[in-house]
Amino acid sequence: MLMIVFAALAIVLAALAPSLMPPSLMSRFNGLAALLVRLGLGVIALWAIAGTSYVFVPADGVGHLKRIYLGHNLADGHIIATRGENGYQAYTLTPGFHFIPLIRVLYDVEILPMVTVPSGFYGRIVALDGAPLGTDAIIADRWPEPESEAAKYLNAEYFLSHGGQRGLQMSVLKPGRYALNLYLFEVHVGSSRGVDQTYNDKGLSEVSEGINTAVTQIPAGHVGVVRSTVNERGHDCRPLQVNPEPGALAVELVPVGCRGVWKDPLTPGDYFLNRDAYDVTLVDTRLAAWEYRGGFTKRMIDLSIDQQGNITQRLREIDQPFDPKVFADRAIWVKVEGWDVPQELRVLTQAPPEWAPFVVASVGGLREVEDRVITPIIRSVVRNVIGSSLTINEAQPDGTVSKTTRPTRVLDLIENRDALEREIEARVRVEGRKAGIEIKEIRLGEPAIPPELLVARQREQLAGQLTHSYQEERLAQVQRQEREQARATADQQPNLVAAQIAVRVAEQRELQRAAEGRAERHFLEEMALGQKAQTAVLGEDRVFQLNAIKSILEVVERRPELLTGLRLPEVFVGASASGLEGPAAVLGHALKGLGALDAPPKPAAAAP
């Protein structure tokens, strides 16, 4: 404003310059001095006016205008001018140099920061001007789709001229930087530093506690069930009756974009949902194990045996604590045959994604389903099944197997656990589906059976183990003796082999001699038969002579030296009918000669 006064003063002085200058000066320069003075004052006036007609906006700021002069009044109920009215202007100046005549005279120019939305958060928008909300609306309608059309509503002039509503906006700012008119929009932004930021007509301010504007994240293995507080335009919002199992409680779900629980859950991913309009409940669709453990004192009797075989027993107690942060509930106490037995169990469950909206609408969440529905059902079913009767396959005396139903015994908790698990699982599964939960399996834990019921069996087992141990020791001793005998046998193996070979040689020699004897006997028998036949033909004398000759020939064959110096006999042999007398005579003479050789010579007789 001071520059305008200075410019006006310069213009007035320029107009009055001729009358204000001395006449002598005017006459000397013939009016040139007045002209020069006027030009100088005009330049000064233009410089003063130009100084009020430009604005420079920095790169990280937005120029905001507030008209002061030459405008008319705003309509009632509005604070942002769109047609040149006095007050806050919808038009803003982008970063850079702007030349607008007398802008600093007619307007109050204010540089406010750009809005910055960090990654992982969204900007919550509140419009201070615009069309009023509907009678039952608590939040403005979503800006039109697609996103390119919605971006136009960030311009204040477009927002106000195209039906933008005042108040909290359903649409949000995604991560990025925005040159917004902070006279119209107030933006709240969260931060990972734990300090929220607020952008308004006072600029940027930080608050330690604010509104959560974090992006809605649906992790893997989960779905997000949306509970909406608004009905969006263009949606058929008639509710749907949904129940996952016949006979189950039916709940009302609504289509996406309507007020209520949406029938379609959000799949894993990141969503820029305005938390003022939408509340998202995470439902874990992975397998979950609910354990019912602890909350009792376990009693046990320990048996021991000394060297003499005497069995002694000692009572021992162990506290089984219950941790509510880890376990779903305490162990279930069941009554069997008049005994109170704490039974632990483990339940494997899963919430199907398509049933997640039903779970949230009917109960509120998995924790509520566990506490309000599943746990009471499980406790009731376990007590009823274990405390009543049991159907099992039992072997009959004739060797067949048939189903038998009888009252449950305490030891069935150990011996027939599978049958109990199947019966409990079948009943609980039906009830779980009514609540939108799939029961995958139920496994019974170790029951804390009163030790008094187990002592007799344990003593019997221990006695059996002692008997078995004695038998095993005897068997081990026998096996040791066998090993020693086998080792001694192995050490004498060469001698044993030699003895075995000798026995076999003796056996073979015996067989050989027997065979030779039989052959000799057969030979002699045949010779006897031959000699008998020969005797019958030749006569006994002839046969005797032949045998004698044969014997002599065999002797000569063995001792050929007997024939040394043998002289032929001078014997005359005549023929005979048998033909043997000649050879016999020759042989006999030869033998006499042999005898003469062996005998000492006789002395010669004296000549007569």
The mean pLDDT of 463-481, rounded to a whole number, is 78
% residues pLDDT > 70 (the chain): 83
How many Å apart are CA 423 and CA 451, to the nearest integer? Answer: 26
Higher pLDDT, 539 or 284: 284
Strand partners of residue 110 = 64
Token couple for 322: 């219950």
pLDDT value of residue 599 = 47
CATH code for the domain in which residue 373 is found = 3.30.479.30
Distance CA 10, CA 116 (A): 46
Residue 595 scores a pLDDT above 70: no
The span from the CA of 454 to the CA of 410, in Å, is 10
Q: How far is CA 139 from CA 127, 132, 136, 147, 162, in A?
A: 11, 10, 9, 19, 17
Q: Indicate whether 572 pLDDT > 60.
A: no
Which residues face 115 on adjacent strands?
178
CA 422 distance to own-chain centroid: 25
Shared-domain flag, residues 272 and 136: yes
Asked whether the beta carbons of 187 and 125 are under 8 A apart, the reply is yes
Stretch 328-353: mean pLDDT: 93
301-310 burial, b at 16+ Cβ within 10 Å, e below that, comes to eeeeeeeeee
Alpha carbon distance, N-terminus to C-terminus of the chain: 218
Alpha carbon distance 603, 399 (integer Å) = 122
Q: What gap in Å lies between CA 523 and CA 534, rounded to an integer?
A: 16
Closest CA to 378 of 285, 446, 291, 249: 291
**β pairing state of 87-93 and 80-81:** parallel
- Both tokens of 124, joined, read 């919550």
Summarize pLDDT for 394-410 with one digit per residue, the tens.
777 777 877 888 899 99
Percentage of the residues of the chain whose pLDDT score is greater than 90 = 42
Kindly indicate the confidence band of residue 353, based on its pLDDT and cuts at 50, 70 and 90. very high
Residue 581 has pLDDT above 60, yes or no: no
Phi then psi for 32, rounded to 5 degrees? Answer: -65, -35
Residues 82 and 119 reside in one and the same domain: no
Span 402-430, mean pLDDT? 90
pLDDT reported for residue 435:
86
pLDDT one-digit tens code per residue, 256-282: 999 999 999 999 999 999 999 999 999
Say which amino acid occupies 70.
L
Give me 237's structure tokens: 């919002």
Q: Are residues 136 and 265 in the same domain?
A: yes
Least confident of 17-31, 459-473, 491-505: 17-31
Output the pLDDT for position 38: 62
- For β-strands 345-350 and 288-292, DSSP reports them as antiparallel
Backbone φ/ψ region at 151: left (φ over 0), alpha (ψ -120 to 50), beta: alpha
pLDDT at residue 314 is higher than 70: yes
**Which residue type does 415 have?**
E
473 occurs within a structural domain:
no
Backbone angles phi, psi at 385, to 5 degrees: -70, -50
**305 and 413 fall within a common domain:** yes
Cis status of the peptide bond prior to 146, with omega within 30 of 0: yes
Strand arrangement of the beta sheet that strand 278-284 belongs to? 260-261, 222-228, 278-284
Of 28-37, 186-195, 356-365, which range is least confident? 28-37
Residue pair 248/289 in contact by the 8 Å Cβ criterion: no
DSSP string, 259-271: SEEBSSPBPSEEE
d(CA 457, CA 411): 11
State yes or no: pLDDT of 594 exceeds 50: no
Q: Which two tokens stand for residue 117?
A: 């939305």
Q: Which domain holds residue 152?
A: 112-281
Q: Do residues 1 and 103 lie in contact, with contact meaning Cβ atoms separated by under 8 Å?
A: no
Question: Can you give the pLDDT at residue 14?
Answer: 58
Sign of the alpha-carbon dihedral angle for 513, 514, 515, 517: positive
Determine the 3-state secondary structure of 191 from DSSP: coil
- As a whole number of angstroms, the distance between CA 297 and CA 331 comes to 11
Task: Evaluate whether residue 488 is within a structural domain.
Answer: no
Detail the DSSP E strand segments found in 454-607.
Answer: none
Structure tokens at 473: 């020791």
Contact 376, 328 (CB under 8 A): no
Confidence bin at 605 (pLDDT 50/70/90):
very low
Residue 596 is assigned to a structural domain of this protein: no
| Domain boundary, last residue among 438, 458, 478 | 458
- Of 222, 250, 281, which residue constitutes the final position of a domain? 281
Question: How many angstroms separate the CA atoms of 218 and 225, rounded?
Answer: 10
Q: Which residues contact 562 (CB under 8 A, 6 or more apart)?
A: 555, 556, 594
Residues 255, 300: one domain? Answer: no
Residues 163 and 59 in one domain: no
- Overall domain count for the chain: 4
Whether 110 has a pLDDT exceeding 90, the answer reads yes
257 contacts: CB under 8 Å, gap ≥ 6: 228, 231, 232, 234, 235, 237
- Both tokens of 93, joined, read 């100046």
What is the reported pTM? 0.65
Which of helix, strand or coil describes residue 345? strand
Q: Count helices and strands (H / E) in the chain.
A: 15, 29
Same domain, 13 and 26: yes
In a domain, 213, yes or no: yes
- Shared-domain flag, residues 127 and 270: yes
Q: Are residues 99 and 117 in the same domain?
A: no
Radius of gyration of the chain (CA): 66
Q: How far is C-alpha 345 from the geometric centre of its chain's CA atoms?
A: 22
Residue 232 in contact with residue 142, Cβ under 8 Å? yes
Strand (E) or helix (H) holding 288? strand 288-292
* pLDDT at residue 58 in the model: 95
Q: Is residue 545 part of a domain?
A: yes
Q: Which two tokens stand for residue 99?
A: 């030349």
Residue 321 lies in a domain: yes
Which residues lie closer than 8 Å to 131 by C-beta, 6 or more apart?
Answer: 163, 164, 165, 166
589 lies in some domain: no
In this structure, what token pair is assigned to residue 414? 């150990």
One domain for residues 360 and 446: yes
Q: Are residues 328 and 417 in the same domain?
A: yes
**Domain assignment of residue 239, yes or no:** yes
Kindly report which listed range (181-190, 494-503, 521-530, 596-605) carries the lowest average pLDDT score.
596-605
Q: Are residues 203 and 302 in the same domain?
A: no
Domain boundary among 434, 458, 482: 458
